[in-house]
């Protein structure tokens, strides 16, 4: 169980809305290309309140870098897709590390790595995966030519390089730039009220359980307003 899963949810009933094309998008969408079971659903939806905050973040970014944009890698994610990607990641890591998945002990150790970056695909309404709430987004930055800004690590990379402040104490110019880019992304989102996943430079959320858990470390206890939702609830 994730550390934030005990935080209560009082669902606000807010609808999912499509993210407008003022933002850039990953195309083709990676998980769709892998065969994740989206059916007719779209990964580029968020709750209406989350979109409002995202637009605030975009405005802040433009003050710092007028020609840059936020690029949406992934947003709304059905639990079935979460389960698909957890299994895909498990098998990819097992292959890369030479792990025997028929060995329960080895599989258990492997899943510790997987669940450090991927939420458990739970159908329990009290413990929804963050992306299934429509309140979590995975993003990066692009320049005026829609070329991705180098963040010093790939989205979904399972390594220490994914930690947001991995390059904080860097001394070489390239790594210093990586840290600067990550800080620009983070500051734009934090300014808009988002919180950043402690293990993932690309993952931000607003008013879901993880947001509340991160917010509680600084302020009074919170109650999550976004629980698991469905795209047909638009």
CB 226 within 8 A of CB 47: yes
Distance, in Å, from the CA atom of 162 to the CA atom of 119, rounded to the nearest integer, reads: 16
Q: How many beta carbons lie within 10 A of that of residue 14, not counting itself?
A: 18
Q: Which entry of 11, 55, 107, 200 is annotated as an active-site residue?
A: 200
Task: List all residues 6 or more positions away from 26 whose beta carbon is below 8 Å from its beta carbon.
Answer: 71, 72, 73, 74
Distance, in Å, from the CA atom of 94 to the CA atom of 114, rounded to the nearest integer, reads: 10
Task: List all residues 6 or more positions away from 30 whose beta carbon is below 8 Å from its beta carbon.
Answer: 73, 74, 156
Phi then psi dihedrals of residue 29, to 5 deg: -70, 125
154 is catalytic: no
Task: List all residues 6 or more positions away from 79 whose beta carbon is below 8 Å from its beta carbon.
Answer: 121, 122, 123, 128, 129, 132, 228
The residues that are catalytic are 200
């Amino acid at each position: 169980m994730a550390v934030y899963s005990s935080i209560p949810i009082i669902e606000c009933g807010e609808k999912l809305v499509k993210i407008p094309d003022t933002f850039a998008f990953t195309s083709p969408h990676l998980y769709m290309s892998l065969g994740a079971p989206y059916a007719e659903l779209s990964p580029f939806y968020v709750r209406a309140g989350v979109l409002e905050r995202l637009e605030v973040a975009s405005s802040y970014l433009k003050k710092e870098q007028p020609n840059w944009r936020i690029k949406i890698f992934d947003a709304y994610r059905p639990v079935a897709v979460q389960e698909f990607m957890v299994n895909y990641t498990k098998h990819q890591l097992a292959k890369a590390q030479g792990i025997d998945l028929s060995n329960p002990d080895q599989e258990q150790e492997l899943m510790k790595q997987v669940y450090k970056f991927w939420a458990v695909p739970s159908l329990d309404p009290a413990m929804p995966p963050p992306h299934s709430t429509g309140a979590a987004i995975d993003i990066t930055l692009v320049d005026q030519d829609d070329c991705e800004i180098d963040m010093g690590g790939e989205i979904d990379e399972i390594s220490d390089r994914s930690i947001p402040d991995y390059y904080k104490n860097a001394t070489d110019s390239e790594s210093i730039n990586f840290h600067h880019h990550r800080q620009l992304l983070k500051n734009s989102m934090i300014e808009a009220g988002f919180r950043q996943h402690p293990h993932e430079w690309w993952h931000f959320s607003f008013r879901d359980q993880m947001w509340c858990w991160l917010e509680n470390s600084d302020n009074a206890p919170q109650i999550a307003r976004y629980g698991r939702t469905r795209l047909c609830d638009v």
